Structure 1
Amino acid sequence: MSKLSKKFSGEEKTVAKNYGALVILQGLNYLLPLLIIPFLERQLGLEKFGLVMLAQYLMVFCVVSTDFGFNLTATREIALIKEQKGDYSIIYFKVFWARMILLVLVFLILMAVVFSFERFSQNWAVYLLSYGVVIGQAIFPVWFFQGIEKMRLITIINVIAKVIFTVLLFLFITKPGDFLNVPIFNSIGFITAGVISFIMSLKHVSWRWPDFDGTKNFYKESFLVFSSNIASQVSVAANGLILGFFAGDAVVGVYSAFEKLILAAKNMYVPIYQAIYPYMSRKELKEKRTMMSKLIPIIAGIGILGYAIIYFLGDWVIELLYKDQRIIDNISLFKVLGLIAVFSGLSMLFNVLYAPARKLFKYRMQIMIMAAIFNLVFSFIFVPIYGLKATVLVATITELFLLFLAVLYYKKDLKTYA
């Protein structure tokens, strides 16, 4: 071990430690959907399970809106301040107070949306109770701990939150009528994690009241990232929402049963990108590109291996996890959706790692918006006619389109700064 340690610089050791912590967290993110999603499908029934998942899709937009792109811009700023050994307080509280304002505004918008559409107002409680997840995410300064490269702490806190949520589910969800407990318990887990992490972060900063002067460019960059993130979520969460409008809660339940497993596979890349991002942000352009050339074949290999597992073991996994015949009858669609594991890893390499590290926020926004428009147009054309099959195909093809655009823009950047 000591010989291995000598081969790495101080920065590389930090990246390795953060990656190790994030792998543990992501491992939990793989395991829990395999426990929770099938459990909810069995206990709640497909209709109530689909309703709970529909609310979660809507919360995705709320989380992205309250984040406002700070997950990338603030992380980068904190990483640079860390390198310069500066004070984190100013940027920390500019982000914190902006998030608090957004938390209130987004809640008001959510209430307006829920009570304006009968599709939502019939089950208004499930949507409003789900907002606790947004509150927890807003006060959880993941961006700060990522920037100062102390990801092990985040791992511990996240594990605590997820364990609380999981234990409460298994203790108190026994029948379809318990469906409202799902967003309540989920919110308890996220808010607990948010409060603990916020308190822990305060030891690194000095308290400041709202002051938004002198950060116009920072907020402008954050808005570009926010626009990109909203657009990227249109390519994910909107699929479930559109399907719910046209096909009903039960069909959303089938789609969610597949999509949550694929999302876990897609997220296997997240520890790599989160651990490397602060490190890459500090490097010169030549070093960034060298890192990209090394990462591309690795990420491609991980994606191909992931899809091979989904394709060859998909039947066994779905039949083992779920009992509803409507899910089992659509296993072929699960295998099609599994291609996302290949496409998304490579597109995220540019959109989540390289572009933000290069401050190519405008490029990233253009990619995400084009993909979102592509997704929405084809969803609204085909989902009303072909339902679940159309949603699966549009979601998969959109990820391929994202990869195509990422390659296009990466080559453009290589030529521009050759």
Structure 2
Amino acid sequence: MILQFKNVGLLFVAQLVSYLIPILEIPILARALGVDEYGHILLIQTTALLCSLVVEYGFSLSGSRQVALCVGEKPLLSKIYNEITSAKIMLTAGMVVTSLLIMSIATVDIKPQAAVWGYLYFFAYGFSSIWLFQGLEKITFPVVFEVCLRFVGLFVLFIFVSQPEDARNALMIMSSFALLNTAVGFYLVYRVVGGFSFVAKGGVKQIKDGFHSFLYKSSNNIMMSAGPALVGVMCGQAAVAKFAPAEKIIKASVGLVGPVLIGLYPYLSRKLLQSTSLNLKFSTFIVAGLFFLGVVGAGIIFVLGDYLVSLMLGPGFEEAIVILRIFVFVIPFRMMNQAMGLTIFMPLGKDRILSFLLIFFSFFSLILAALLSYEFDLKGVVYGLVLSEIVFSASLVAFAINIKRVESSAC
């Protein structure tokens, strides 16, 4: 039990740092590079992270679960690692081909050297081995090493990026530190499972078996991560520099709720099986409480929007204030949606409904944002993301009420 609390604490710290570092990067890069160069870097960085989410494919759930069931059986552990890494290689090939086709027809100007570093950034995050150590419950060194490395990388950015001409250096520094972390991960994996061999059939099987994990874990993340890429295509790279800082603040505000909900998930799963009607009231209380906290948080960010943007970005980013003040309306609804998923739908075994709604509204939000951008430009993208989140909330509430009615009549 102590080991489990320790691992949860380490994962929480890792998640906190994963949101904190991008926010700390904003004033360093925005003030040094200016709107255009910063937008160019952000477009490449966020597109690379979006591609890495597809390659990760929810293996942090499905892969770590498989590993946890075969601890001590090295041949089986090696088989699982080879199959999942083979699956990642196949998914990577698909993403590389897709991205090259998109770049060939997109109007966004991507510099060749920057694109190369962007692909390396994508490979680094896509081939992270943390899922293996998560399943083995041996994440202390990988997590601590990654956290330390990310802060060192941030310091190096601060030292070596000071003017627009340093844009290439910025992307090179971020990619290099990410690659170093992944390389150390490969070395640690080699000590545990030995060498790697490509297994095509096993890779295809892992992709097929992990599809529902991918839908649940990745749909929401892809929806948020695809925002900057969509802005770049529809509104230009300068608009990305005004959109992405607001998006990072929103993502950090909402993301820290995740570890708390995941911590409650086993308890609620057990309690809902014992007394569905009584404990649905407790779940409803959690959902309502997080929605209220989201409203408070959104109000604080709305009031401080001018100060936050001026502090982080400096002159030339005035439109980012407007974007942030529109975007904050996502916070309470997204917190409520996460809470409903992990305290009502999944504990009751309604994960198929949840997965369907997630993937549907992920695409709906991007289509709506793209359509509204024709009329309202950058603000239209944000309007689309906010409106789709509200409609998603209404849909979840409607399904939850129906579930509660069915469960009550069954009792």
Which of the five TM-score ranges fits, normalised by the shorter chain?
0.7 to 0.9
**Which residue of structure 2 lines up, in the alignment, with residue 286 of structure 1?**
273
Instruction: Give, in whole Å, the separation in 1 of the partners of 2:154 and 2:379.
Output: 31
Instruction: Give, in whole Å, the separation in 1 of the partners of 2:328 and 2:29.
Output: 22
Letter in 1 for 2:312: L
Gaps of 5+ in 2: none
**Which residue of structure 1 lines up, in the alignment, with residue 361 of structure 2?**
371
1:179 alignment partner, SS class: helix
Q: What are the Cα deviations for residues 279-306 of structure 1, in whole angstroms up to 9, with x where unaligned?
A: 5799696279759827535644553443
Give the counterpart of 1:175 among 139, 163, 166: 163
**Which residue of structure 2 lines up, in the alignment, with residue 236 of structure 1?**
224
Letter in 1 for 2:273: K
8 Å CA contact 1:33, 1:261 repeated in 2: no
2:108 alignment partner, SS class: helix
Give the counterpart of 2:92 among 81, 103, 110: 103
What aligned pairs does 1:306-317 form with structure 2 within 5 A after superposition?
306-317=297-308
8 Å CA contact 2:370, 2:381 repeated in 1: no
**Which residue of structure 1 lines up, in the alignment, with residue 125 of structure 2?**
137
**1:45 has 2:34 as partner:** yes
- CA shift for structure 1 position 46: 0.5
Instruction: Give, in whole Å, the separation in 1 of the partners of 2:275 and 2:318.
Output: 44
Q: What are the Cα deviations for residues 343-378 of structure 1, in whole angstroms up to 9, with x where unaligned?
A: 222322355787677775543431123213321332
Instruction: Give, in whole Å, the separation in 2 of the partners of 1:26 and 1:393.
Output: 27
Give the counterpart of 2:49 among 47, 60, 66: 60
In structure 2, the CA distance between the partners of 1:38 and 1:214, relative to structure 1 (3 Å rule), is closer
TM-score, scaled relative to structure 1: 0.81
Q: Percent identity?
A: 21
1:333 alignment partner, SS class: helix
Instruction: Give, in whole Å, the separation in 1 of the partners of 2:204 and 2:347.
Output: 20
8 Å CA contact 2:83, 2:202 repeated in 1: no
**Aligned-residue RMSD, C-alpha:** 3.6
Letter in 2 for 1:318: V
**1:388 has 2:382 as partner:** no
8 Å CA contact 2:234, 2:373 repeated in 1: yes
Give the counterpart of 2:253 among 262, 265, 269: 265
Instruction: Give, in whole Å, the separation in 2 of the partners of 1:267 and 1:116.
Output: 34
**1:28 has 2:17 as partner:** yes
In structure 2, the CA distance between the partners of 1:177 and 1:334, relative to structure 1 (3 Å rule), is same
Q: What are the Cα deviations for residues 60-115 of structure 1, in whole angstroms up to 9, with x where unaligned?
A: 33112212232332233334546999953332322122112322342233233323
Q: What are the Cα deviations for residues 318-338 of structure 1, in whole angstroms up to 9, with x where unaligned?
A: 22222124x335524313312
1:235 alignment partner, SS class: helix
Instruction: Give, in whole Å, the separation in 1 of the partners of 2:341 and 2:71.
Output: 24
In structure 2, the CA distance between the partners of 1:189 and 1:284, relative to structure 1 (3 Å rule), is farther
**1:342 has 2:299 as partner:** no
- CA shift for structure 1 position 232: 3.6
8 Å CA contact 2:247, 2:327 repeated in 1: yes
Letter in 2 for 1:306: G
How many residues align? The count is: 404
Instruction: Give, in whole Å, the separation in 1 of the partners of 2:345 and 2:136.
Output: 20
Letter in 2 for 1:349: A
Gaps of 5+ in 1: 1-9
Q: Which moved more, 1:391-400 or 1:103-112?
A: 103-112
Letter in 2 for 1:314: G
**1:74 has 2:76 as partner:** no
**Which residue of structure 2 lines up, in the alignment, with residue 209 of structure 1?**
197
In structure 2, the CA distance between the partners of 1:135 and 1:243, relative to structure 1 (3 Å rule), is closer
**Which residue of structure 2 lines up, in the alignment, with residue 185 of structure 1?**
173
Letter in 1 for 2:39: G
8 Å CA contact 1:138, 1:194 repeated in 2: no
1:392 alignment partner, SS class: helix
Letter in 2 for 1:47: D
Instruction: Give, in whole Å, the separation in 2 of the partners of 1:366 and 1:194.
Output: 32
Instruction: Give, in whole Å, the separation in 1 of the partners of 2:347 and 2:206.
Output: 14
8 Å CA contact 1:54, 1:241 repeated in 2: yes
**1:321 has 2:305 as partner:** no
**1:124 has 2:106 as partner:** no
8 Å CA contact 1:229, 1:368 repeated in 2: no
Letter in 2 for 1:336: I
**Which residue of structure 1 lines up, in the alignment, with residue 211 of structure 2?**
223
